[in-house]
């Protein structure tokens, strides 16, 4: 396909997948007439929950009749997902034309693939100066290609935890360093800080952004939520309290993400988001590979009456949240696991309690993934663990009983491959 050929060329422009520096993206954007300076943006920074928080904000904004551009990474099923313009995913022809135009302007200068995609996003987004952009920041933010904005409407800080440690020096692989990298260069506007996994992390964020002059909104201090019954939950901040419908999504953590999105949108006064916009938007939140239940397709046909869920959690913080959901279910849980090589595999699986079985598999088409048979060896202390060659064999091999759950997890890349296979 044409897009695949373009992607292949762009991936060869720099010897490294990631090279933490802003020089290349700034140089290219200068050639593009600095499109990043022409857009209105909300930045979303953190370790986990960025995608879910973005989807919650997006659903509410559409109810308020906003046209949005959205930039996320990585993609799940195809690269087009990273580029939303005017509330629509870019089509193949438009994406090919966009990437080729930016490639031509770059003129073979060294630049990473992600930097090229980011420049392309900014270039296209500038065509819609009145749209609202929601931009997910990758990796550590301070030297991320998205961190070249001079202004924004708000910065949302989602949950922060240990991940991507291989990109930090050995003596700096700490939560304090990650918090510094993610929050020390936030713009002066509004900063909304989501619920964190510990008081220590929240306090460290406070310390890092102490001198930032932004309006700051901390979970449990400036906004909060509480569960109602299966149909609603309560949200409250300084602007008032709202009784909100529960989303059509699995997991208590989604209420945290939605509340963070609501706090952010209400903090940006010029958006004029009403209670009605929020209430209408929440039931329409669409989330891929985040506790996504598969209800049809080839893989669903294999599990028949049993539940099949795909979740892209890939770090210890994600595993902790995922296990909280699993613990709320009264059934046997079988995990099919595939992970990238650079993850903390033992700590990830260590968060799972009361799991009936684990089956490790390879992640197709991912050269930096860990082989399933090696993952099995690494997790040998788990009492009931097997390895199978692929997802179909894995599902067929699990001796499920009535009401058992099969969960596929460990990587967003695995989730994407599995969804495509389904």
Do residues 46 and 185 share a domain? yes
Do residues 332 and 383 share a domain? yes
- Other CB atoms within a 10 A radius of the CB of residue 114 amount to 22
Nearest to 138 by CA among 57, 28, 20: 20
Domain count, the chain: 2
Q: Report angle CA 184, 188, 190 to the nearest 5 degrees.
A: 100
Do residues 151 and 296 share a domain? no
Distances (CA, A) of 381 to 136, 384, 386, 408: 37, 9, 12, 20
Number of helices (H), then strands (E), belonging to the chain: the values are: 15, 17
Which of 250, 284, 318 is the endpoint of a domain?
284
**What dihedral do alpha carbons 319, 325, 327, 332 form, nearest 10°?**
-90
Ranges of residues in the chain whose predicted pLDDT is under 50: none
Q: What is the pLDDT of residue 1?
A: 74
Q: Report angle CA 358, 364, 368 to the nearest 5 degrees.
A: 90
- Other CB atoms within a 10 A radius of the CB of residue 367 amount to 6
Do residues 236 and 377 share a domain? no
Residues near 49 by Cβ (< 8 Å), separated by ≥ 6?
158, 159, 194, 253, 256, 257, 260
Do residues 316 and 256 share a domain? no
Tokens representing residue 314 in the block: 């890939």
Q: What is the pLDDT of residue 228?
A: 78
Domain residues for the domain of 210 are 2-284
Tokens representing residue 4 in the block: 């695949």
- Could you tell me if 279 and 375 are in contact, meaning their C-beta atoms sit under 8 angstroms apart? no
Q: What is the pLDDT of residue 280?
A: 98
- The string of pLDDT tens digits covering residues 359-407 is 999 999 999 999 999 999 999 988 899 999 999 999 999 999 999 999 9
- The string of pLDDT tens digits covering residues 229-245 is 779 999 999 999 999 99
Q: What is the pLDDT of residue 408?
A: 98
Reduce the DSSP state of residue 36 to 3 states and report it: helix
CA–CA separation, 266 and 154 (whole Å)? 11
Q: What is the pLDDT of residue 348?
A: 95
CATH code of 322's domain: 3.90.190.20
Do residues 15 and 46 share a domain? yes
Strands ordered across the beta sheet of 154-157: 88-89, 83-85, 68-71, 132-136, 40-45, 154-157, 190-193, 215-218
- Could you tell me if 105 and 32 are in contact, meaning their C-beta atoms sit under 8 angstroms apart? yes
Do residues 47 and 157 share a domain? yes
- The string of pLDDT tens digits covering residues 133-155 is 999 998 789 999 999 999 999 99
Q: What is the pLDDT of residue 33?
A: 98
Q: What is the pLDDT of residue 398?
A: 97
Which of 284, 301, 320 is the endpoint of a domain?
284
Strands ordered across the beta sheet of 385-387: 292-293, 307-310, 405-409, 333-337, 357-360, 385-387
CATH code of 141's domain: 3.40.1190.10
Do residues 221 and 306 share a domain? no
Nearest to 161 by CA among 306, 351, 305: 351
Do residues 158 and 82 share a domain? yes
Q: What is the pLDDT of residue 214?
A: 98
Nearest to 420 by CA among 77, 89, 81: 77
Reduce the DSSP state of residue 212 to 3 states and report it: coil
- Could you tell me if 160 and 46 are in contact, meaning their C-beta atoms sit under 8 angstroms apart? yes
CA–CA separation, 320 and 326 (whole Å)? 10
Which of 261, 284, 307 is the endpoint of a domain?
284
Do residues 278 and 297 share a domain? no
- Other CB atoms within a 10 A radius of the CB of residue 327 amount to 12
Q: What is the pLDDT of residue 165?
A: 65
- Could you tell me if 152 and 36 are in contact, meaning their C-beta atoms sit under 8 angstroms apart? no
CA–CA separation, 338 and 408 (whole Å)? 8
Strands (E) in 96-227, as ranges, are 132-136, 154-157, 190-193, 215-218, 223-227
Estimate to the nearest angstrom the gap between the alpha carbon of 104 and the chain centroid. 30
Q: Which residues pair with 335 in a beta bridge?
A: 358, 407
Q: What is the pLDDT of residue 407?
A: 98
Peptide bond into 238 cis (omega under 30): no
Residues near 76 by Cβ (< 8 Å), separated by ≥ 6?
288, 289, 312, 412, 415, 416, 419
Do residues 279 and 344 share a domain? no
Tokens representing residue 414 in the block: 């695995």
pTM value is: 0.95
Which helix (H) or strand (E) segment holds residue 59: the answer is: helix 50-63
Do residues 314 and 254 share a domain? no
């Amino acid at each position: 396909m044409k897009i695949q050929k373009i992607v292949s060329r762009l991936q060869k422009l720099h010897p490294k997948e990631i090279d933490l520096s802003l020089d290349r993206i700034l140089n290219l954007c200068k050639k593009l007439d600095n499109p990043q300076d022409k857009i209105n943006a909300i930045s979303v920074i953190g370790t986990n929950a960025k995608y879910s928080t973005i989807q919650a904000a997006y659903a509410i904004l559409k109810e308020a009749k906003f046209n949005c551009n959205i930039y996320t990474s990585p993609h799940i099923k195809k690269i087009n997902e990273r580029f939303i313009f005017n509330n629509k995913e870019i089509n193949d022809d438009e994406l090919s034309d966009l990437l080729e135009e930016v490639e031509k302007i770059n003129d073979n200068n060294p630049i990473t693939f992600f930097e090229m995609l980011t420049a392309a996003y900014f270039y296209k987004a500038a065509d819609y100066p009145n749209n609202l952009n929601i931009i997910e920041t990758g990796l550590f933010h301070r030297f991320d290609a998205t961190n070249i904005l001079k202004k924004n409407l708000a910065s949302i800080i989602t949950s922060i935890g240990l991940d991507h440690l291989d990109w930090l020096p050995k003596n700096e692989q700490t939560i304090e360093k990650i918090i510094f990298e993610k929050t020390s260069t936030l713009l002066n506007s509004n900063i909304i800080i989501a619920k964190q996994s510990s008081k220590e992390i929240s306090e460290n964020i406070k310390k890092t952004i102490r001198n930032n002059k932004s309006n700051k909104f901390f979970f449990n201090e400036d906004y909060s939520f509480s569960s109602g019954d299966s149909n609603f939950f309560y949200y409250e901040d300084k602007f008032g309290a709202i009784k909100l419908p529960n989303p059509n999504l699995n997991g208590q953590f989604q209420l945290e993400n939605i509340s963070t999105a609501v706090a952010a949108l209400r903090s940006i006064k010029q958006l004029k988001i009403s209670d009605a916009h929020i209430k209408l938007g929440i039931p329409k939140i669409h989330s891929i590979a985040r506790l996504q239940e598969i209800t049809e397709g080839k893989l669903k046909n294999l599990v028949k009456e049993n539940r099949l869920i795909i979740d892209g959690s890939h770090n210890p913080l994600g595993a902790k949240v995922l296990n909280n959901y699993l613990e709320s279910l009264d059934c046997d849980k079988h995990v099919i696991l595939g992970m990238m090589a650079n993850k903390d595999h033992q700590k990830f699986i260590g968060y799972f309690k009361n799991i009936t079985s684990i089956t490790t598999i390879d992640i197709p088409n991912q050269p930096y993934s860990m082989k399933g048979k090696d993952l099995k060896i690494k997790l040998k202390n788990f009492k009931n663990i097997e390895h199978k060659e692929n997802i179909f064999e894995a599902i067929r091999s699990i001796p499920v009983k009535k009401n058992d759950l099969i969960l596929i997890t460990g990587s967003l890349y695995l989730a994407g491959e599995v969804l495509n296979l389904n």
